Homo-oligomer: A and B are copies of this chain.
Amino acid sequence: MANVDKKTLEEQIKIQGEIVRKLKAEKADKDKVTEEVNKLLELKKQHGDNGPKKFVLKTPKGTRDFTPEQMAIREGVFDKIISCFKRHGAETIDTPVFELKETLTGKYGEDSKLIYDLADQGGELLSLRYDLTVPFARYLAMNKVSNIKRYHIAKVYRRDNPAMNRGRFREFYQCDFDIAGQYDPMLPDAECIKIVVEILSSLDIGDFVIKVNHRKLLDGMFAVCGVPDDKFRAICSTVDKLDKTFWDDVRDEMINEKGLDSEAADMIGEYVQFKGGLDLVNELLKDKNLTTKKNAVEALEEIKLLLTYCEAYNVSDKVCFDMSLARGLDYYTGVIYEAVLTAHSHQASASGEENVGVGSVAGGGRYDGLVGMFDSKGKKVPCVGVSIGIERLFSIMEAKALAAAKKVRTTETEVYVIAAQKGMVEERLKLCNALWDADVKTEQSYKKNTKMLSEFQYCEQNGIPLAAIIGQSEIETGVVKLKIIGSREERDVPRSDIVQEIRNMLASLKIGKESTSGN
């Protein structure tokens, strides 16, 4: 019945479409055209309601599926990052993908317009999380947690203009490590930097540098340069653009858009050129202007201590005190840092990913006020943390895999079970069962009868190292034929020894692989 209706309707739409086209071609009376167009729209609407749906086969704008190949690369990156977090004794927590809308309100400044809201279907007003830091602060305040070292890897959502080919998505992973608690200066901060070095070094993505600065030093510098108090944040965001654009443009913006006088701008221009290590800090501690500002001196003392700890952690060569580093977010109150790939600077500058800047693959800092915003008594929990720019790292790893033109294995299958003759399905199932029960990663065809040759080809294509073959003669003699796919070497093994023999073969293949790959 529905089918007949639909056909008639489709024909009607076709005819009505012809009418509209004819009228338009004739440049007929406008009202007449509108009338017939409305009829057409009405028919189309009916069709949409009654007929089978025609699906637009796509994922929402700015989002994507992950294929098994992409997931295998992700898993590799996650494993390395998580094992670093665990090496440093971190716990993990999880929070819901959406929060009460008011939990997110007033935390992201101008960017709040990028927050995804849920429809009001009755009940609470909800929004998708925009980052992991605000939910973390809400978690600490709500559960009265005053110290924790935790990591959280989860997806966040931003209604930003997606640039998918440059790695900017509306749904993307964040990977955060934070230390909350009232501790002695710079000890947690230095560990965050050490963690960034460990993670980036483990990923083999080339050279990098971690820029370090301090929000209070920026504030002191602005005061010294004559920036009015109420322009600190605005001028700070302008300075933040220094890693993406030239000083002249930044100066222009300060003067023409933010209304700063040119003397102040030029003085800032002097300071933001400073980059260095302990020597620079010691020099600035003698700067007759900066030293008039208490917060600037405090900040310099903290940076000095941080750099000393970085030396003990043997990461000094990766760390650079850089007075041009500002970072976008409002909530930072102390040390800030950002890791930048030095080898990828060109590739990265084309991408312009926000939050972690250009070429930036990790960033963070100290935010001692955020948790207090959620506490009814304003009780503060000092926090410092780092966010690993994991989507950027994925992109780099994917590009590397592509360039290597090496097939990414998406399964870990060790043995493929093959029957030598037809009619041996149950024997195959029994052998698979024995191997699974012994925790050997095993697959077989879901076809009842298979051709040996194509089965071997399947193993080759999918990087499965071993085949276990059973035929009538093997069953009669109580053996299984084990074949090494790579070398075509094969050997009959008694059923009782099969698991042990597979383990030995896998171990020798692994050792062989390692010694030939030159590691």
Q: Which residues of A contact B (CB under 8 A)?
A: 53-61, 63-68, 71-72, 75, 83, 86-100, 102-103, 105-106, 116-121, 123-124, 126, 128, 138-139, 141-143, 148, 150, 155, 157, 159, 171, 179, 181, 183-184, 187-188, 190-191, 194, 198, 308-309, 312-314, 373-374, 376, 410-413, 425-426, 429-430, 432-433, 436, 439-443, 446-448
Contacts and interface: CB of A to CB of B under 8 A. Distances in A.
A139 B65 contact: yes
B94 A58 contact: no
B443 A89 contact: yes
B61 A124 contact: yes
Contact of A59 (B53, B56, B96, B411): B96
7 contacts: A60-B126, A65-B95, A83-B439, A91-B411, A118-B118, A118-B119, A312-B429
Contact of A183 (B124, B309, B447): B447
A105 B276 CA distance: 59
A93 B116 contact: no
B100 A56 contact: yes
B97 A447 contact: no
B446 A58 contact: no
B425 A187 contact: yes
Contact of A441 (B61, B86, B432): B86
Contacts of A171: 96-98
A89 B411 contact: yes
B410 A91 contact: yes
Given A89-B442, A90-B411, A100 B58 contact: yes
A476 to B, nearest CB: 19
Nearest to A105: B53
Contact of A442 (B87, B139, B179): B87
Given A93-B65, A96-B171, A374-B57, A88 B436 contact: yes
A109 to B, nearest CB: 15
Contacts of A119: 116-120
B98 A60 contact: yes
A190 B93 CA distance: 37
Contact of A429 (B88, B188, B313, B443): B313
Given A88-B436, A312-B426, A61 B123 contact: yes
A483 to B, nearest CB: 18
A448 B184 contact: yes
Contacts of A446: 179, 181, 183-184, 187-188, 191
B96 A63 contact: yes
A128 B119 CA distance: 11
Nearest to A185: B448
A123 B443 CA distance: 44
A92 B411 CA distance: 9
B95 A71 contact: no
Contacts of A443: 88-89
Contacts of A54: 376
A166 B446 CA distance: 39
Contacts of A88: 436, 441-443
A444 to B, nearest CB: 8
Given A65-B96, A117-B119, 8 more contacts: A57-B142, A65-B143, A86-B412, A87-B441, A119-B120, A181-B446, A184-B446, A309-B425
Q: 3 tightest CB-CB pairs across the interface, nearest first?
A: A68-B91, A183-B446, A312-B429
A89 B416 CA distance: 10
